[in-house]
Structure 1
Amino acid sequence: MAQTIGEAAAELGIEAHVLRHWEQVGALTVRRDGNGYRVYDDSALEQARTVLKLRRVGLSLPEVIAALSPQKSTAQAVVRAKIAALEGEIVRRQQAMTFLQHTVECRHRYLDDCPECSTFVREA
C-alpha cells in the first residue's frame, strides 16, 4: 500500500524533510503520482529503511550512497572502511576504559605520581 511522505516519515520515526533530503542527494528514489506527490510504495519504504539503518550504524550520507552502489565492489569497499574505522574506535575506547579504570583504582593521590598513569599518558 502506498503512503504519503508524512505517513512514511511517521512509520520510519523520522521527519519528512529527511526523506526529501535523501531523495535530493540520490540516496533514495521515490516515484511521483500524476499530481507530482511522492508515493512511498513498499520498494521506496524498504529503500528508506536501508538508508536509515546505514545512517544509524554510522555511515555518512555519501557513504550510504556509495554503499547502495550497484557495483558490489564499491559498496563492499565503503562497508569495509567503516568496519575498520569502528574497530579502531573500539580499540581507542577500550584503552580509554583501561586508563580510567586505573585512575579510579590508583593508589597515588596525584596521577602524575603514578608510573602506570605516566605510561598511559605517553601512549598514542
Structure 2
Amino acid sequence: MVKTVGQAAAELGIEAHVLRHWEQVGALTVRRDGNGYRVYDDKTLEQARTVRKLRRVGLSLPEVIAAISPRKAAAQAVVRAKIAVLESEIAHRQQAMTFLQHTVECRHRYLDDCPECATFVREA
C-alpha cells in the first residue's frame, strides 16, 4: 500500500517537511506518481525509518547520506567516526559524574580545600 507524504510523516512521527527535506538533500529517494505526487511505499518508508534512526543517534544529514551509501567502506568509516565521538563524550561525562559524585561526598567544607577536588580541576 502506498502513502502520501502526510500519511508517511504521521506514521513515522515526523513532519512532512522533514521528509521533503531528506529527499531534497539526497538522504531519501521517493518516487512520484503520474501527477507528480510523492508516493511512499514500504521500501521508501523503511529507508525513511533508517534515516530517522541515524538522525536520532546523532548523525548529521551528510553523515546519514554517507552511512547509507552503497559503498560499504565509506558507510563504515562514517559510523566508526561517530562511535569514536560518542565514546569520547561518554568518557567525558563519566569524568564529570565522578567529579560531581566526589563533590557531593566530599568531607571538606570548601572544594578548594580538598586535594582530590584540586586534582579533578587540574585534569583536562
| TM-score (normalised: structure 1) | 0.99
How far apart in 2 are the matches of 1:80 and 1:31?
31
1:70-89 superposed matches below 5 A: 70-89=70-89
Runs of 4+ in 1 over 4 A off after TM superposition: none
Q: CA deviation at 1:94?
A: 0.5
**Mind listing any 5+ residue stretches in structure 2 that lack a counterpart?**
none
Which residue does 2:53 correspond to in 1? 53
Task: Work out the CA distance in 1 between the residues paired with 2:112 and 2:37.
Answer: 64
CA distance in 2, matches of 1:34, 1:67: 31
Matched, 1:97 2:97: yes
Q: Distance in 2 between matches of 1:5 and 1:109?
A: 60
1:96, 1:60 → 2: CA distance? Answer: 26
The answer for the alignment partner of 2:18 in structure 1 is 18
How much does 1:119 deviate? 0.4
1:88-124: per-residue Cα shift (whole Å, max 9, x none)? 1110010000000000001111111111000001101
Distance between the aligned counterparts of 2:8 and 2:58, measured in 1? 22
Instruction: Give deviations 1:26-48, integer Å, cap 9, x for gaps.
Output: 00000000111000001110000
TM-score when scaled to structure 2?
0.99
Q: Look up the equivalent residue of 2:64 and give its one-letter code.
A: V
Aligned equivalents of 2:10, 2:63: Cα separation in 1: 25
Q: Matches of 1:33 and 1:109 in 2, distance apart?
A: 71
Distance 2:109 2:8 in 1: 57
% identical aligned pairs: 87
In 2, Cα distance between the equivalents of 1:122 and 1:8? Answer: 52
